[in-house]
């Protein structure tokens, strides 16, 4: 492990001991800042805001096998947000996937989790309270360690196939909206639409509509606020205008 790759456990100890309180760039680099768009003397304050998600993690896998990399980024509409990336440290545990938590990402909940396993284009989990985020990360840790494929990956694949089938184009801004529910921004009409997934129709999530649902890869997918499917599959109506030659 390099000098920059101190474990999350050591990072927590350093932070609680006040090692990262200084506003100078050298101190903030030691805290993990690697890139920023804000003023350098603002990093200490931004660190205090994002630190709770690092301090709240308690699973040994995360504490002893990951290090922290911090960035301050410009998102949509030039709004600034911060990101705490948990990267696998050099060690003997093997190939464990990375993940990152974004604070204040534009258009999303206050805390948003992106993971390598779920794909960094789509948030795996989001919430308004840091305690919910750290609880999710600790619960995720055994899956990362054991290489378990979570059911949400199959759900995401089914949702993607559903959207691509009916819309024939990659969806914009796909999000996970809690248990068994997703949303995407329809490129055709600009509306955000919700998609629900159920393993069994008799145990479907709230909002799921069995009528009109589609079975994809042994899962049932429903998009209640999508446009009528008939409008997609029916051939275009013939024009009643007379041809120029007939006039």
Per-residue pLDDT tens for 61-116?
A: 999 999 999 999 887 666 889 999 999 987 655 688 999 999 987 767 799 999 99
**Do residues 55 and 63 make contact, with C-beta atoms less than 8 angstroms apart?**
no
**Do residues 86 and 100 make contact, with C-beta atoms less than 8 angstroms apart?**
yes
**Do residues 79 and 62 make contact, with C-beta atoms less than 8 angstroms apart?**
no
Q: Give the span between the Cα atoms of 49 and 127, in whole angstroms.
A: 15
Q: Give the span between the Cα atoms of 74 and 76, in whole angstroms.
A: 7
**Do residues 103 and 87 make contact, with C-beta atoms less than 8 angstroms apart?**
no
- Higher pLDDT among residues 192 and 27, named by residue: 27
C-alpha angle 138-143-147 in degrees, rounded to nearest 5: 145
**Do residues 155 and 215 make contact, with C-beta atoms less than 8 angstroms apart?**
no
- Residues 235, 236, 237, 243, CA torsion sign: negative
pLDDT value of position 61: 95
- Enclosing H/E stretch for 184: strand 181-185
pLDDT value of position 169: 64
Q: Give the span between the Cα atoms of 159 and 153, in whole angstroms.
A: 10
Helix, strand, or coil here: 109?
A: coil
For range 42-65, the mean pLDDT = 96
Residue 140 has pLDDT above 60, yes or no: yes
pLDDT digits (tens, 9 = 90+) for 171-226: 667 888 888 888 888 877 778 888 999 988 888 888 898 888 889 988 999 888 76
Domain spans of the chain?
A: 8-146, 151-233
Question: In whole angstroms, how far apart are CA 116 and each of 61, 123, 126?
Answer: 16, 10, 15
């Amino acid at each position: 492990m390099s000098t920059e790759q101190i474990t999350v456990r050591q990072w927590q100890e350093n932070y609680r001991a006040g090692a990262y309180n200084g506003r100078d760039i050298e101190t903030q680099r030691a805290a993990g800042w690697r890139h920023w768009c804000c003023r350098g003397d603002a990093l200490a304050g931004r660190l205090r805001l994002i630190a709770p998600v690092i301090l709240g993690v308690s699973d040994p896998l995360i504490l002893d096998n990951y290090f922290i990399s911090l960035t301050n980024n410009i998102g949509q509409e030039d709004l600034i947000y911060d990101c705490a990336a948990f990267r696998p440290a050099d060690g003997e545990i093997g190939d464990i996937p990375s993940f990152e938590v974004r604070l204040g990402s534009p258009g999303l909940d206050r805390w948003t989790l992106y993971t390598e396993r779920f794909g960094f284009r789509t948030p795996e989990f989001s919430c308004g309270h840091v305690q919910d985020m750290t609880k999710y990360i600790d619960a995720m840790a055994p899956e990362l360690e054991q290489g378990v494929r979570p059911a949400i990956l199959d759900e995401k694949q089914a949702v993607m196939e559903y959207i691509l089938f009916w819309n024939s184009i990659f969806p914009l801004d796909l999000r996970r909206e809690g248990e068994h529910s997703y949303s995407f921004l329809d490129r055709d009409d600009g509306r955000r639409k919700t998609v629900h997934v159920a393993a069994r129709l008799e145990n479907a999530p709230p909002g799921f509509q069995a009528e009109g649902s589609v079975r994809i890869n042994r899962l049932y997918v429903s998009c209640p606020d999508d446009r009528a499917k008939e409008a997609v599959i029916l051939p275009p109506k013939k024009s009643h205008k007379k041809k120029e030659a007939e006039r």
